[in-house]
Amino acid sequence: MTGAARGIGRAVARAFAGQGDRVAVHHRGPAERADGVLAGLPGSGHVAVQADLADADEVRRMVDRACGELGGLDALVNNAGVFIPHPVTEVSYQDWQAAWQQTLGVNLVGAANVTWCAVQHMIGRGGGRIVNVSSRGAFRGEPGQPAYGASKAGLNAFGQSLAVALAPHGIAVATVAPGFVETDMAAGHLRPPRGDDIRAQSPFHRVAEPEEVAAAVLYLASPEAEWASGAILDLNGASYLRS
């Protein structure tokens, strides 16, 4: 479970642990936050693993360690992501390049590398589940953070490609695409007055709770969800509809 030290990732870790699964809580920075998540998980046998997802060698060591500590790997949730403002008309060329490199390096290439490493272990166990956490922004656009929208659109295509490639190995791949979620990452956007406008985008007049996203991820990672492989599930409270 990448990016599990807060927000959606923390809620997903709790959901898996709550049904008796052992969870690897990935974090990038200091371990305190991940250790706090571990301390709050029901059950035992969970582990915290650290890696900068933009570093391919760290990714491989992290996945191998998680697999070793857990005694195998049945499901991967690619949740980690960065969201860096870089409006095209307002940033320097150097800052523009840096934002694209960092965003794609974590959100797309990092997820691809984690997936490659996890698949090697899943094939040895006869199958598994991969769930990618994308975004409404992949379809609606992210004018202030175009690399973020592009990375999530790429993640959608990546997931669908692997759904076809990995089905013969018993591995199903699906994607969830949330809109705004009540998390630390979104807190700055959800404060008034902008937060009121964001909540009004949905006819429910609210944004998602992390636990609502976690419930969808938990289903897509279940044995019953094999036939959802290749699907992209919108979780945006009808704030954006696509055909």
Q: Up-side HSE of residue 61: CA atoms within 13 Å toward CB?
A: 10
Separation between Cα atoms, residue 184 and residue 196, nearest integer Å:
17
Separation between Cα atoms, residue 1 and residue 154, nearest integer Å:
20
* Cβ atoms 54, 106 nearer than 8 A: yes
Separation between Cα atoms, residue 92 and residue 105, nearest integer Å:
20
Radius of gyration of the chain (CA): 17
> 10 Å Cβ neighbour count for 24?
24
Separation between Cα atoms, residue 24 and residue 70, nearest integer Å:
8
240 is catalytic: no
Q: Find out whether the peptide bond into 193 is cis, omega within 30 degrees of 0.
A: yes
Give the pair of three-digit tokens for residue 49: 């693993």
Reference 181, options 45, 5, 6; nearest CA is: 6
Residues with catalytic roles: 148
